[in-house]
Chains A and B, each alone.
Chain A
Amino acid sequence: MSTVLKVLKYQARDAIRSRWLIAYGIFFALVAEGLLRLGGDPVKAQLSLINVVLLVVPLVAVVFGTVYLYNAREFVELLLAQPLKRRQLYGGLYLGLAIPLAVVFTVGLGIPFAARGLDPSSWSALAALLGTGVVLTFVFAGIATLIAVRCEDRLRGLGAAIGAWLLLTVIYDGFVLFVLAAFSSYPLERATLALMMANPIDIARLALLLRFDGAALMGYTGAVFLKFFDGSAGVAVTLAALTVWVTLPIALGVRAFERKDF
């Protein structure tokens, strides 16, 4: 077994027993169950869940991840004194954080739907919702790991984690709206698409809304987006953008971790 898998195994064993992580799973189970009972229609419930997933998954991944890694700081020093490479340890720590978060999210959100037994059409929509949540988990766990390595001070690190979440969920959208308003007399569909690709939450939101036929609500812009996401080039660009969002924080984090003085 590689060193990464060994670290991952014990790290995940610790994380999965965390009360916070269990509460996170229960939260999604309760929200999904509630929406299913109130609305009755699985597709409506999934549509409502989009916003919950887009807000809560990044927040929990980045905040839980940062706090968890700060708490593990002394243990990381003990592990660094063992014969293993720093990049392997980093990989184990990151995956040991991201995988339990993703598993708990998938199980929590999936159970209420699975318990009802869905028709194939809503299965694919549910898979899209779960897949998006998992990708966002991996993006924001990467950002959390990067922050915990780069920022020596816990309080500043936590501030940076919440700041990153606020920036990508709220502030960035404000910025995009401002750009759209300021340049409203120009054709902005392509520029908007480019702006969306620069934010993982926007990519996720767009992909999900289009998947749920939300494009109709967005008029001409929606039509342009739908065309983009339906084409193979669009899919390739989206996947490439998401890959960058997953790998860039990891690459920066490994670099910082290898140079870090403990």
Chain B
Amino acid sequence: MTGMIQLSALSKSFGPIEVLRSVDLTVRRGRVMAIVGPNGAGKTTLIKSILGLTHPDSGRITVDGVGIGRDDAYRAHIGYMPQISRFPDNLTARDLIAMLKDLRNVKASVDEDLIDRLGIRDQLGKPLRVLSGGTKQKVNAALAFLFSPELLILDEPTAGLDPLSSSILKDKILALRSAGKTFVVTSHVMSELETLADDVAFILQGRALFVGALDELKRVTRQLTLERAVAALMSPAFSEAAA
């Protein structure tokens, strides 16, 4: 299986704080990679580096075999769902869809499956400022899937979603994974990642302490669940062994 995303020796500091320290990581095509780690571990910086939102100090990132640099074309194959869904107050979700279609030069119809399944079609014409936080998060999710991208990067996708919407979103992820799409997902809910992830990257203080299959992680840590496995990785004994 080939690497959809390849990070080699990726480092990034914000002032004196080293957020990523020589991270090597491969996201395999057609799989769901969960990025886990405590708050401030560097997960969001990692994701933003792949998207080109943050410029790494050193190291190399390739997406689909092409090194990302000044060229922005690779992002045409990426759908991104940011953690915080804040949109312009006076636009409607329909405006946003039209805007993204315009910016991506997409004239054809797009994947509006999530709009119907999350039940937000009748909200599309309302100004985004009047929508509830949960509805905005549904819009956020629907936008990421709109262009049937090869790679989806979802930062805390189910935060703020009700259980039904959250399970609809997870079903969608699994269905597209079966269709060969690649996912990078972060979440604080380990049980949720457990049902989604094929692979896990565990980041602690900017280092990738474990990158591999979920089953492999459980085997190495001798734990039955992802949550327990991650807790075991964070224990001082394991960190010392890894160092």
Interface residues of chain A, those whose CB is within 8 Å of chain B, are 1, 3, 6-7, 9-11, 13-15, 17-18, 71-75, 77-85, 259, 261-262
Contact = CB atoms under 8 A, between A and B. Distances in A.
Interface of B is mostly: mixed
B82 interface: yes
A6 B80 contact: no
B241 interface: no
- How many residues of B sit at the interface, in one of the four size bands? 20 to 34
Given A78-B143, A83-B103, 15 more contacts: A9-B102, A10-B91, A11-B88, A13-B91, A14-B88, A78-B82, A81-B53, A81-B75, A82-B75, A82-B100, A83-B74, A84-B103, A259-B55, A261-B14, A261-B48
18 contacts: A7-B103, A9-B99, A10-B99, A10-B102, A13-B95, A14-B91, A17-B90, A71-B86, A80-B51, A82-B75, A82-B100, A83-B72, A83-B74, A83-B103, A83-B104, A261-B48, A262-B53, A262-B54
B210 interface: no
Nearest to A5: B102
Interface of B: 12, 14, 48, 51-55, 72-76, 78, 80, 82, 84-91, 95, 98-100, 102-104, 127, 143, 153
B103 A3 contact: yes
Given A17-B90, A78-B80, A1 B100 contact: no
Contacts of A14: 88-91, 95
Nearest to B103: A82
B58 to A, nearest CB: 14
A6 to B, nearest CB: 5
Contacts of A11: 88
Nearest to A80: B53
Contacts of B99: 6, 9-10
Contacts of A15: 90
Contacts of B153: 81
Contact of A82 (B14, B48, B84, B104): B104
A93 to B, nearest CB: 11
Contact of A85 (B12, B72, B100, B127): B72
Contact of B53 (A1, A77, A83): A77
Contacts of B54: 261-262
Contact of B89 (A18, A85, A259): A18
B88 A72 contact: yes
